[in-house]
Chains A and B, each alone.
Chain A
Amino acid sequence: MKVYRRIGWLCLGLALASQAEAAVKNVRVVWEANPSSEAIIGFSRSGSAASSGQYVKYGSSTTESSWQNSGTAIKRTFKSSLDNYFVRLTGLSANTEYYFRACDSTGCTEPYFFRTAPSAPQGLTFIAGGDSRTNRSQRQQGNRLVQKVRPHFVMFSGDYTDNHSASEMDTWLTDWLLTYTPTTINGVAYKQAYPLIPTVGNHEASDMNFMCSVFGVDADRNGSCSLRDSYYALNVGNLLRIYTLNTEFGSAQANDRTAQRNWLNGDLPANGSSAQWRLAQYHKPMFPRSSSKPAVHQIALDWAQVFYDYRMNLVNESDTHIAKYTKPVRPNGSDYQEVSAGTVYIGEGAWGAPVRTADRSSPWIVDQGSFAHLNVIQATTSNIDIRTVYLSSEPNTSTLSKASRDADPLALPSGWSLWDSAAVGNVFSLKRAANNLTELNESTSVPGQTISLSATRDVTVASSGTLQNGNTVLADGDDAGKQLRALLGWGLTSVPAGATVQSASIKLNVVDPSSGSYNLHAMNSSWSETAASYAQTSGGTLIGSVVPSSNGSASITLNAAGVAMVQGWLNGSMVNHGVVLSSGGSSNGVDFSSRESGNGAQLLLNFTVPTLR
């Protein structure tokens, strides 16, 4: 009996030991090649804790007793102090969840899981972004957004930290854990990790071997870290072939720069057609959109022709900290030329780095803006849809459940704020052209088929009955006992006949912001700047809302009812009585420019006219 009791205690001890806290942390999953069957699991030594015998326990079911141990992890040290360990899992099954813990001789981490890439061309939802270096809270906001989207993978286009020190990178890896979605499966709390495809940014130029020493990339499979590990390509099934390139090869790396160009010039013709779409990511844009940057980055521009020649469809750039969409383009000397089918470039990285002014204009730009964001991209065999998400909308974004993602690879969360790009609205939709290059998906986005209408009438009406028609229009829930509402109206005669409104928004130039929420309603009766009553401003359909929290442009995207209202105005099925902006309860008023000031409210319409195409 004593023997059995001792054995029981021993088993319990061993069981507890296996769950004891490991001296390792910051687990990450990295894709470098063959993501249907391979993944790199990386983790770091925890602080100054002693750690030995690092490995990964993993399996394709949640039954942990069936998991197998990997071989001993490879140790690589970043900047002499950040010890990292890597295990390359091979022979995995496609489109399969793998559950794992990172372990050392003292115990294991909490359990995680990730999904391998599908081998069949199924739809994919993934994230592209970069530049997370200085504003840590914004970086964390972006990471939590990843968590809520449950993407298949993340393309990160460089500039992780500011000074690329070991302590900064350690912090970044800790923050990266925020991208993992807590998921309970069979009563066990897991975290779903999303494979990362890393890129070198200029802030990593002091040690570009971090691709290997921090993320475990060993592109040339030679078992050691070198600059060759900073550019590579992988296929996500046969849907995508993703190229990761290094723009940071300077003068001292001229040989590596030439080798990379030769590799790209050889790989794209040889392997580019192995997938239906070809994507690329790198750090410095060919033509940065801010005048605070050089007009051209030659190292990237050197790739433009081979991109075009071998059907590169979509390129994610970074570095400038702005948002942009280009039209399909081809290289034309030291510039782009808009073409019906070409390469589309998006970017330019604002995942926590300070945004710059997007002040360079080019005819091949669809739209550009200055705000923190990341891009949620959805690819199918026929289309690529891009949504640029404001990081600031993360708190309002719902978390997609595992069941939703499992059921629909293209499912998306709700509640987020999307960039209302001037020419294409919330979704930048692309399709593959007959020649396998990219063209705009004209059913939903037709550059040039947008119009911006200036307000033709606006007035402030107070609950006391007075009207105010000066250089500003006001709305307020309590202005010395009065309520103020802003009436706005536009003429639509310049919209082509037969236009079908795809999206609509209203832009205000705020001159006195408010922390409160303001609602936009349809007006149901006629009014003019000299004849309007407070009573007639109530009862209309809610068509949008806004928190005008800062001076400058504030955009209100009209909801479906709002779009229908505008369509009704155009069709003649509804009378165009304009709209009214009123407080949602706040007594903190908002002032914005009136038409009399020359910068009145704008109604932006995105529409299609079938007869034009």
Chain B
Amino acid sequence: MKKFLYILLTSAMLPVALLIVITPMDSQKQYIFGFISIGLLFLMGFSKRRSISVIMVVMSLLMSTRYMYFRLTQTLHFNSEIETILGMGLFLAEVYVWVLLLLNYLQTIWPLKREIVPLPDDMSLWPTVDVYIPTYNESLDVVRDTVLAAQCIDYPRDKMKIYLLDDGKRREFAVFAADVGVGYITRNDNSHAKAGNLNHAMKLTQGELITVFDCDHVATRIFLQATVGGFLKDPKLALVQTPHYFYSPDPFERNLSVGRNIPNEGTLFYGPIQQGNDNWNATFFCGSCAVIRRSALEEIGGFAVETVTEDAHTALKMQRLGWKSAFLDIPLAAGLATERLVLHVIQRTRWARGMTQIFRLDNPLFGRGLTIQQRLCYLSAMLYYQFALPRIAFLTAPLAYLLFNLNIIHSSAGLVFAYALPHLFLAIYLNSRMNGRYRYSFWGEIYDLVLAFHLVLPTVVTMVFPKRGKFNVTDKGALLNVGYFDFRVVRPHLVIAILLGIGVIAGIVRACAHDYYGVDPSVIALNVGWGLYSLIFLLAAIAVARETRQTRKTIRIEVKIPVLIHYASGISSRSQTADLSMGGCRVELPDDRHLTDDIEEVELLLQSGAISIPVNVVATDEHFIRLMFEDIPLARRRELVRVVLARADAWIQPPKPQDNPFRSLFTIVRCVFDLFWLTWKTRRENRRAQAQVQEDGNA
């Protein structure tokens, strides 16, 4: 009955929609139409209900389709070959954006907020779990805490086995595994990198469930008890994926002055997108922080080895065979973000190549076993990675007019703007409304721009020749000793930025003397505006290349944990931490005793047990004292991991405040301003420092 009503509704609305899309209007009417729709949107915006969002999505799609129809039917007239090429290029880029918008709406329109499925009280029913920690060339310092955290997972000891899968076949790793009491597996070759490593381990182990942690992903103690329940409840469930939470800042967070105030780059994917995927049973496997059913993996022949993003491909294969997948939106493990921009670019290049490979080799649109929604979700992800060319097209389009006086859009500036306004406005507004806590407006442009020039070649080449190319592992854990500006990474950006700058200036000049030049001021205004818009984002993207120094190897976590301060005199005082890391902690000073009495040990008080660690004083001020942990044996280090990294609530943060597009734009402008300001400031400081050194030398 409901279905019938829906069909009736849609078929009634269809002619109306068609009318909205194709009715041509002149500039004035279109402006009014646009403003009415924007007004309607604001009115509806007072309601936060999801059903209203659906209506808004329909409105946005109608406006965008109207714009595309307008472009298609009215603006594709060119005067020369070069204009045709550039004009069509731009139009195709807009088609791409339109398709992606549609797919994105479908993907995220109804995110699934999954709950934890509790495990039964009878522990004999709990399944056996194998925990795989694959590693290749990462240092033991990084892997050690991951293994210790895995040992802290609350699960019956006889039902959980941990294995260190060492493709580097390093002796110190073997010794470590023996010391700490976990399994150690190696193989004779290194074929198919991580996937091959995992497949090899599968042959030697027997757990009903398999959990994979990247070598830097420390699990919280609650990981298995929060994820395994679903497998018992639903025998067709093959995968439970949890978010990749980063406790170290990514290049955007670290290098941009405002980096820490915005939701980070991964939040959108590990929030609305995966939740949206989950609604359509299309959750992607992300290679780590997930639990997979062994029988499902065996049915597909193990982890997929045909592409460089073996994780996404593995999930696709399982879904083709009818297995279900789930996404639990609670951070149950945390890892290290890519340290530097260049590493970020390398990582994303691999993802782009991998997704393109899947598109070519195992296209989700074809083949059996998937629902239409699953196909569209995968298509959305794959098409997303083709953004390089379209982005560059958008970026450089104003240059065609500003520098070369080419008309690539055949229409008056006013009319184009009238059609484009509701199209852009609704899309931005709606994205802000639906995803505002996970990604602030306009930041997607910056993330994409940073990568755009680097992805052109890899995606195009892989699209044509899917089997070419090597797999680079992302380097994790190296220390950045000195700040510098990574010109290498942003060279193409700088070139385009300069061109845009020139174009904008040229445009302004011509606008000021428009009578002399005989040009339409509104066209110039449009192009200059567009150019400036692009320039701002480009400069923000360039700002990310300003690598700041990372001063310490261990990451500090702000948390208040009760501590006992043990002094040499035998006195023990009680206080709490201000921050905590694997290397030390900062403690609130309860009194002045530390001035006269040595602090020997500090005891962290967790409900499940206390741990006492010998310390040295690093620094002190009137309110806090910073202490460094001395070396402790492995068994105690495990307890320290339990307190610092494996706490069940360690990574659960309140979401960031809701987005406001204007504020977001302003933040980005501030970023750009800070790029120049901070660069100038550091230069000045360096000059002063140099002058000081010279003075000292002379004196």
Is B truly associated with A? no
